[in-house]
Chains A and B, each alone.
Chain A
Amino acid sequence: MSHLVTVWLEERRSTTRELRRYARIFARSGSSVAGLVLVLLFLLVAAVGPWIVPYPEDALGAVHLDWKLQPPSGAHWFGTDEVGNDVYTRVILGARVSLQIGLIITLVAAVIGVPLGVVAGYVGGALGEVIMRVTDVFLSVPALVLALAVVGALGPGIVNAMVALSLVWWPGYVRLVQGKTLALKGETYVEAARAVGTGRLRIVFVHVLPNCVSPIVVKASMDMGTAILAAAGLGFIGLGAQPPYPEWGAMISHGRNYLPTWWWYSAFPGLFIYLTVLGLNLLGDGLRDLLDPKSRA
């Protein structure tokens, strides 16, 4: 019994040591830490947004015409828009929208892409061939163009934009996981598992998938930023979120009509997109250096 406890303690200690080592490597890179800070701030803002904004009723389009288009001031840090809504309030609440968009798109893409990638890589054969060809077709059109086509067919709206972007986002995961699975299939420990008669499902879940986790996490963290950018792009051309929903891309698009005099209307939402995506990218870079150093590019 005491022996088991020692083993458990030792394992725990080595895990802590490992984590500490990771933290040290991570902290050495200034840009990774900056990324982490930006992402944490973004998450914090998304979490507590509704409680910290000065004018919560402005989120879904209250109208105060006597306050319209006021420059940034103590009462309205980022100024106000054409119906007198506080831009600061809407930008802060937009963080939550963007977080949702990024998370949902990336999650749906991974949920579709990863299983397909495993099947294509591990089972292979005609089925794998079909999966990869379909993936290639999707990858042959730039994501934003394809998303535009899908939203064009479905009609504008935030939900449709997310459906469209998820639909065009999964092929990347198929590629990644298929490649990784193919490589792992040849590893000695997988062959050994097969030799002792381990079932396919068990091999996939115990030996293959855990080894795919790091590249998937790295890709997902990078994709979050790109997905947020793409959704903002759709919002900007009027196919994503519809007013008065506080989405950053749509806000920039509306503010565009009030440039250059009322510059703050477009400038601040854009600045927030930039900082968010920057943070996610830097964090993704840091994670990659940590978890998947071989795939540096």
Chain B
Amino acid sequence: MLFGLLCLTFAISHLVPGDPARLAAGPDANEAMVETIRAKYGLDQPLPVQFVRYLRGIVAGDFGESLRSRNAVRDDLARYFPNTLALGLAVALGIPLGMLSAVYQNTWVDHGARVVSVSGVAVPAFWLGLMLQLMIALHLGLLPLGGRLKLTMVPPEPITHLLFVDACLRGQWATFADALRHALLPVVTLCLPALASIMRVNRAEMIETLKQDYIQSARAQGFSGFRVVTRYALRNAMIPTLTMIGLRYGWMLGGTILVETVFDWPGIGLYAVNAAVSSDFQPIMGVTLLIGLNFMLANLLVDLGYAWIDPRIRRPA
């Protein structure tokens, strides 16, 4: 699987119609300079040799060198990735919310939730982000427009490179609060489509499950409504929901690209966009690989989650 992904990123990076060596050398370079660069990056070698070289690099943790900025892509990634992770983590908080609203069907809570869930998948996240900026940040002045911290704020001395954790560890609560205020709008924007579809699946499944006989009998045995809903119904409705969470996680990783662009959030997505706009493909391949890995890991967790929720899956067939 991972090997396949490596092949894919390699193949895409060789799909480039232009000559990467010439691109890196700049417009004024003469033939000899282009040749030197080509030799330096092994671009004159036959494809299989290049591929082995690429693989060896990845295994050693070397994602190649950004042809434009000349920074090692690994360093760039290390700098940008933690931010994105923070964003993703905050989104994980949104998921239980979606589940809760599934429980109250056919009340005004439910109707409201359905409007949100239908709209959430259809609205372009980047546009929603802009409109939220317009209303909440500019019109009402409640939250900052973009970025991660106020310019006057000194970021904490890095320990984990996760801004939130570092701020906590260093006891800089004002910084923490400011970072939180900056994170709120991007997180809400990114969260909504995922929240919407998770809510939808969970609601549909819960309705199905609540009709089952064993729910009836559990009720008849006098279990409290809360217990029936959480222990009996939610657990059975969780499998398809979990599938959706895994799927949506991937979409969200893709969505960060757009949302980070809107909010000038210096994460992996903005990094990829800037690289893509300037046709600097090594960083893009690094990002693709990293996000792919991340998504694979998430799917593994989802599979483990299936087994945790449903004992029948644990038993060998």
Contacts and interface: CB of A to CB of B under 8 A. Distances in A.
Interface stretch (B47-55, B93-101, B278-286): B278-286
A interface: dominant SS: helix
Interface string A214-257: 00000000000100010011001111000000000100100010
A278 B119 contact: yes
Nearest to B205: A297
A134 B128 CA distance: 35
Given A140-B292, A237-B257, A31 B285 contact: no
Contact of A142 (B12, B127, B253, B285): B253
A148 interface: yes
Given A151-B276, A260-B134, A140 B126 contact: no
Contacts of A238: 277
B288 A146 contact: yes
Contacts of A269: 127
How many chain B residues sit at the interface, stated as a range, is 35 or more
A44 interface: no
Nearest to A248: B124
Interface stretch (A12-20, A82-90, A117-125, A152-160): A152-160
Given A138-B8, A145-B287, A266 B127 contact: yes
A231 to B, nearest CB: 10
Contacts of A237: 257-258, 261, 273, 276-277
A155 B257 CA distance: 17
A64 interface: no
B1 A137 contact: yes
A138 B276 CA distance: 19
A236 B118 contact: no
10 nearest A-B residue pairs (beta carbon): A144-B254, A270-B127, A137-B4, A142-B254, A152-B276, A278-B122, A277-B122, A142-B250, A141-B292, A152-B284
21 contacts: A140-B1, A140-B296, A144-B254, A144-B255, A145-B253, A145-B254, A148-B273, A154-B16, A233-B257, A237-B261, A237-B273, A238-B277, A239-B276, A259-B130, A267-B131, A270-B131, A273-B127, A274-B122, A277-B121, A277-B123, A297-B240
